[in-house]
Amino acid sequence: MYEGEFIHTQQNLDDRNSWLTVNAAEVEPFLTAPRDCTIFTYSRSEPSDRATTRYGGLPYWPKNRPWPICSGHGQHQAMSMPYVGQIDFRHTPEHDAIPGDVLVLHYCFKCSTWNSHERHTDPTCVLTWLSNIPDEDIIQADDLPAFSSSDVIGPFYGAPCITEDYEAPSESYGGNIAGESYTFLQFTLQGTKIGGYPPRIQDDSVAPAQKFLCAFGSIQPAGLGETGYHGDVCWGDMGSLIVYVSNNHPGVLSWSIQSY
């Protein structure tokens, strides 16, 4: 029985879309409000364009911009925040409505509160919009702060795929759709994505003044057919770090970690 997967690879996405097709007669009543979504499939092959979506590796960040610092919140000494990854918005329908090309994520794993489902704006997480950095100004490996090995992530490089996203019906949580239980991952895609529906895991309440923008999904090397753990990112228990944007102020973001 295939119950759906976090989207890591093109094969995961193809499997999901063929599941919808094969089971069209039973599934169609639930596909009432499709939304376009850009989902990223990952590989270990580094593109030459530094602005592309990625976890780890080299960031899209200007040399002359101060690197985010975590004060420690009483838990550790001030330190450079780990670079987690970035999402490339350049070729997406959302691009015209947001104030940059690339959303860069720094995150302090030492201060993180994995199980908090509240909406945050606190500095455990720094989200930065960047665009139009001249090639000669992009930070190089030698310019990066040093991080402890436990904070080194990836690298995983994302390629955008546009597909339709659907709200997971209540029947997909343990119900019986197409003879299967727990098919919710087939409807609302989980992975690194822009637009579509927010992954509904435990708390999908969105304040009316905000809307879902994008998600940094968990990623594990096993999803790419590798063994062991090399730079995996796991938000809680295979959750997502979800980013919301203010309806009236596109520069104002908030975030939450949603996990099983």
Report helix, strand or coil for 25: helix
Angstrom distance (rounded) from CA 138 to CA 226: 31
Which residues have CB under 8 Å from 250's CB, separation 6+? 97, 98, 99
For residue 214, the tally of other CB atoms under 10 A from its CB is 31
Q: 111 vs 214, which CB is nearer to Zn ion?
A: 111
Q: 111 vs 219, which CB is nearer to Zn ion?
A: 111
Smallest gap from Cβ 23 to Zn ion, in A, equals 46
Smallest gap from Cβ 253 to Zn ion, in A, equals 19
Q: 66 vs 208, which CB is nearer to Zn ion?
A: 66
Q: 3-state DSSP: the chain helix, strand, coil percent, rounded to 5?
A: 15, 30, 55
Smallest gap from Cβ 123 to Zn ion, in A, equals 8
Angstrom distance (rounded) from CA 7 to CA 220: 11
Q: 65 vs 73, which CB is nearer to Zn ion?
A: 73
- HSE-CB at 161 with a 13 A cutoff on CA atoms is 20
Q: 11 vs 71, which CB is nearer to Zn ion?
A: 71
Smallest gap from Cβ 80 to Zn ion, in A, equals 10
Smallest gap from Cβ 106 to Zn ion, in A, equals 10
Smallest gap from Cβ 68 to Zn ion, in A, equals 10
Smallest gap from Cβ 74 to Zn ion, in A, equals 10
Angstrom distance (rounded) from CA 4 to CA 180: 11
CB 166 within 8 A of CB 30: yes
- Type of residue numbered 210: Q
Q: 70 vs 257, which CB is nearer to Zn ion?
A: 70
User: What is the per-residue DSSP string for 136-170?
Assistant: GGB--GGGSPP--GGG----EEEEEEEEEE-PPPG
Q: 18 vs 71, which CB is nearer to Zn ion?
A: 71
Angstrom distance (rounded) from CA 6 to CA 92: 21
**Residues lying near Zn ion in the complex (CB under 5 A):** 70, 108, 110-111
CB 237 within 8 A of CB 259: yes
* CA distances (Å), origin 206, targets 5, 191, 255: 24, 19, 11
